[in-house]
Amino acid sequence: MPEAGERIVCIIAAAGRGVRFGREMPKSFYPVEGRPLLAWSLRALDAWGGIAEYIVMVPGGWEAEAAREIAGAVPDARVRVLAGGETRQESVAVGLASVEGAAIVLIHDACRPIVSVPLVARVVAAAREHGAAVPALQVVETLARLRDDVLEGIVPRERVVGIQTPQAFRFDVLSKAFGAAGEAVRTATDESSLVLQAGYPVKVVEGEVWNIKVTVKEDLEIMGSFLSGRRLELPPRGAE
């Protein structure tokens, strides 16, 4: 939980169009068990109980729909919904510019709706101590470099991790990192890369296997199974 006088703000990255999902609606608005992914993510984060305000970045034109869904999911939360930019980092930059009086800023992917309370607590505590923190999992698959469609070499996985969200930062660290980023704001894939580029260390805390990011439509079935508690039915091996 927040320390005395500590204000924590969470920026939700939900402005992506999700091209692999098709174009009928932004990915974070796809419904699972009666609620969009965005609403599930806010409910999960709000269960921690220490976030003073949410700043939700959505595609332009979707602000009213987002506000309506969020109000139904977390009616007591303080939420601002803003139009995002062309890239994730441009959207986060817009959200960060609107943050007022925060000691710590959390940034979370709207399409990770199964984040747990202990994970939020871990990453906030680490950011409070170290300035920046991310959850991550050790990679278990064999990794390789490709040249076209041919293996070029194997990448040692012992020092490789998969980074998740929420990521947490002291406000001053994140602000300075974005201020120094320049054009990297357009191409960076997450906030920790900008913080590293600015010369700040980033603490890694233990991530969670179920904290997966919905990337393709098939992931919605996994999310629905988890959120509803029903058994996930998979076709037999070799079935068409």
Taken in order of first residue, the domains within the chain and their CATH numbers are 8-228 (3.90.550.10)
Whether the ω angle into residue 166 lies within 30 degrees of 0, i.e. cis, is yes
- Per-residue pLDDT band for 97 (boundaries 50, 70, 90) equals very high
3-state secondary structure of 184: helix
Query: What are 137-179's pLDDT values in tens digits?
Result: 998 889 898 988 899 999 888 889 999 999 999 999 999 999 9
pTM attached to this predicted model: 0.90
**In 87-191, where do the E strands start and end?**
104-109, 132-138, 143-147, 150-155, 161-163, 167-170
- Per-residue pLDDT band for 27 (boundaries 50, 70, 90) equals confident
- Count CA atoms within 13 Å of residue 8 on its CB side: 24
Using an 8 Å Cβ cutoff, are 9 and 106 in contact?
yes
Write down the pLDDT at residue 216: 79
Query: What are 180-206's pLDDT values in tens digits?
Result: 988 777 778 899 999 999 999 999 999
3-state secondary structure of 147: strand
